[in-house]
Structure formats: C-alpha cells, structure tokens
Amino acid sequence: MTTFTRDTHIFRDEDMLRDDYQPESITARESELDTYKTALQPVINGAQPRNIFLYGKTGVGKTAVSRYLLKQLQEDSVKYDDVSLSVFWLNCTNLSSSYQVAVNLVNTLRLADDQISTTGYPQQRVFDLLYEELNSIGGTVLIILDEIDHIGNDDEILYEIPRARSNGYLTETKPGVIGISNDFSFRDNLSPKVKDTLCEEEIHFSPYNAPELEAILDRRAEGALYDDATESGVLALCAAIAAQDTGSARQALDLLYQAGEVARAAAHDRITQNDVHEARNKLERSQIEHGMRELTRHGHLSLVAVLQLALESKEPFRVRDIYPQYRTIAERSDIDPLVRRRMHDHLADLAMLGILDRHSRNEGRSGGQYYEYQFSVDLEIVVNVVSDFEGLTLPRRVAKLIHSVE
C-alpha cells in the first residue's frame, strides 16, 4: 500500500507561492521600475552610483522589484569592460544599530573563515575594516540594506558609506547604498544629514489595488497551479480581499496558497470560493493568535483578566469589573500591577488587535461615558493561547479549563 502519492490536482509547484520565491517578471510596477532604472543608470555609465531609498508597506514588492532589477543590472553590466559591479544584500531584520550593520557587512564581504566577532570592537575600527574590504573589491559596489528600519535612530552608517569616498576613506571603490524600509516613520525620523545623502533618489511603493493583485496572482498561478485548479472568480476574490485589507501581494499570495491547502485537505479537485473564505478565517485566526502571543506581560495579564470574567459571567464588562481581576492575577503572579488607567491602555490595544470589541456607553443622566469590552474571537482560541503563557498564576477557572482541554 502507498501512503504518499504526488498531487495531480491544484498544486503544480507550490514553492512558487512561498514568500521567498523570486518571480521572473514583475507585474504592475511600471512607473516604479522606470524611476528605479533611471536611478541606477550611472552604474552602467561607470559613474558614481546614486543612493536610493525605497519605502512602502510590507508586501508591496520592494524586495522583489529590487532583486529583479539588480539582477538585470548585473547581467547588463558585464557587457561593459570598464564596469565592474558587485552587489551585496544584507537583511537588517535582527540588527538594531549602525554598529551591528557594519559588523555584518564586514562579514558579508569577507570569506567564511575570516569573520570578525559581532561585539568588542570600537565603532571606528569596524568602519575602518569595512572600508578596507570595500577598497579591496574595487569598481562599483552596491550595498542593499533591506528592512533597514530596524536600526531605528542609530542611522550613522547610512551617512558613512555614501560619504566614504568624498571623505577619502575609499579610493578604489565607488559605493552606492540602497536602503529599503517598511516603516514610514523611519524615513521621517532619519537625521537630516542622512536624509540628504541616502534619499538622493526616493521611490515610494504604494499598496496594490485589486486588479493589480489579480494580475500578480494570475501570473504566479500559471506556474504554481494546474490549469483548471481554480473555480472561476477565485483569484479575483483573493485579490479583492487583500486589496481591501492591506494592498499587499504577500497577503494575496498567502491567501491563495492557504486556500489551495484547504482544498487539498478536503480532497477537492479545484479551489472554490468557499475554500478562500475558509482560508481567510484560518489566516485571521492565526494572526490574532500571533497578536496575543506577542503582547507584553501586562497585555497578557489584562487578557487573562477578561477571560476569567467571561468564564464566570456574561459579557460585556467595564473597566471597573476588569481592573480588580487584573490586580488579583498580577499580585498572585508576583508582578507589580499598573494603575487603572495604564491597564486600560492595554485593553484598548487588545481592541485594536481585534481580540476585544469595545463600545462606548453613556451613563444615564449624569452623562458620563464609559467603555464596555467583550471578546470578538472564540474563547476557545483565547484559552488555547493563554495555556502557553509562562510565569502567570492563572485564576482557578481558567486553569481548570486549560486542564480539561489538555
């Protein structure tokens, strides 16, 4: 008997729906590509490269477009003997300072058996090592710093590298920096000297609309799915949902992938619109679960307090009901409770994340206003997440319920 047989429906090549898949062509970004291409033109001319800053929300094609265009640039630059182009990518997701970026750049440029330690050097020494490496490469060096917003205010490096040539540190190499950011406030908060150098060329990527997302999905589905793998309207539905929510191609692709998995699990021969709705619910649920897990300690305490109340009596609840619960749980867990108003901020956060519903009410004749809270997700989801919290002494009812589920 065979346990596994290869799919003959739905997915032809599911890897093409994964986030790290690099599409061979770019859809629906003509004007951004044009601007980007113009900004890179000096490289082909053998001139000093411009520094470029790309920004826009997550999933709108910043990384994909950059990879696509830089690959073209590398291929085309080979045709010119007097252009020697090297391109280095660094994802800055886990880096929180210019120092860390500089160390990681040195290590990106160096061989694997010649890496430097990530701590312990004075900042200037790391910059010197970086210039040494850059000088030894020669020609034009483009450095792409993706997700650069993670370095926050510590943005010195975005000034240092572009200026290294005019400051006399780089004699052999013409450096260019391409910074990519998901966070708009990062751009606004860049120090003025960085803004002047890095943002020489700025390219803004706006969210996609539904027809653009559908075109992207259509192109991707050609390779990823079998020809008749979707009921009519499925791609348009994924596109419409993502356009309404975030305008992110990542969200649209995730939705299609998840819908395909729902269809596969249900042994459908093709993806139906219902599968898309189910996939959307699943994704939303896992997003909310993720949101709950990522809360701070006091966010967790507030969540458990409301959960305990919801298990005891009928929702909704006022802050004056929730706060004493919160205090009790905090004290039993050996955590200093926040004052009531600060705890209320956490309830507002829970509402913003879509975990709680919040309504304002008027207090009879006195005219005072207050808020009422209730869960906007199944308690079962909340219980499931809360059962993983560590370091909290859970109230009895919550603990008992978790026990009975496990």
Q: Give residues in contact with ligand ADP (CB under 6 A).
A: 19, 21, 23, 26-29, 56, 58-64, 216, 249-250, 253
Please state, in angstroms and as integers, the Cα–Cα distance from residue 174 to each residue in 76, 164, 166, 332, following that order.
18, 9, 10, 61
Residue 175's binding partner among ligand ADP, Mg ion, none (Cβ under 5 to 8 angstroms by kind) is none
Nearer to ligand ADP by C-beta: 239 or 322?
A: 239
Query: Which residue's CB is nearer to ligand ADP, number 102 or number 178?
Result: 178
Consult the annotation and say whether 220 binds a ligand.
Answer: yes
Residue 62 assigned as binding residue: yes
Under 8 Å between Cβ of 141 and 170: no
* Sites for Mg ion among residues 55-74 (CB under 5 A): 63
Min dist CB 240 to ligand ADP, Å, is 17
Give the closest residue to 224 by CA, choosing from 210, 207, 240, 238.
238
| Other CB atoms within 10 Å distance of the CB of residue 89 | 16
d(CA 305, CA 325): 5
Minimum distance between the CB of residue 291 and ligand ADP, rounded to whole angstroms?
A: 19
Q: How far is the CB of 353 from ligand ADP (least distance, A)?
A: 21
What is the C-alpha separation between 207 and 195, in angstroms, rounded?
24
User: Per-residue x/- marks for Mg ion, 123-142, CB under 5 A?
Assistant: --------------------
Q: Give kind and range of the element (H or E) at residue 356.
A: strand 356-363
Among residues 112, 133, 130, the alpha carbon closest in space to that of 121 is found at 130
Taking the alpha carbons at both ends of the chain, their separation in whole angstroms is 34
Q: Which of residues 319-348 bind Mg ion (CB under 5 A)?
A: none
Least distance to Mg ion, CB of residue 146, Å:
6
Please choose which of ligand ADP, Mg ion, none residue 340 contacts, taking the beta carbon within 5 to 8 angstroms, the exact cut-off set by kind: none
Nearer to Mg ion, 65 or 234 (CB): 65
Q: Select 27 or 51, whichever has its Cβ closest to ligand ADP.
A: 27
Rounded Cα distance between 175 and 43, Å, is 10
| Residue 285 labeled ligand binder | no
208 is in an annotated binding site: yes
**Nearest partner of 197 among 237, 156, 232, judged by Cα:** 156
3-state secondary structure of 155: coil
Pick between residue 63 and residue 308 the one whose CB is nearest to Mg ion: 63
Q: Among Mg ion, ligand ADP, none, what binds residue 49 when CB lies within 5 to 8 Å by partner kind?
A: none
Q: Which of 311, 316, 332 is nearest to 324 (CA)?
A: 332
**Residue 68 in marked binding region:** no
351 and 306 Cβ atoms separated by less than 8 Å: no
Kindly report the length of the chain: 406
Cβ 376 to ligand ADP shortest distance, Å: 28
Angle subtended at Cα 93 by Cα 88 and Cα 97, rounded to the nearest 5 degrees: 85
Residue 224: name its binding partner from ligand ADP, Mg ion, none (Cβ under 5 to 8 Å by kind). none
Choice between 57 and 165, CB closer to ligand ADP:
57
Distance between CA atoms of 114 and 136, rounded to whole angstroms? 15
CB of 279 to ligand ADP, least distance (A): 17
Q: State the residue number with the nearest CB to ligand ADP.
A: 61
Cα separation, 19 vs 220, whole angstroms: 12
Looking at the Cβ atoms of 51 and 63, the one nearer to ligand ADP is 63
Smallest gap, in angstroms, from Cβ of residue 213 to ligand ADP?
Answer: 9
Chain contacts with Mg ion (rule: CB under 5 A): 63
Residue ranges of the binding site: 60-64, 208, 220
Residue ranges of the binding site for ATP: 60-64, 208, 220
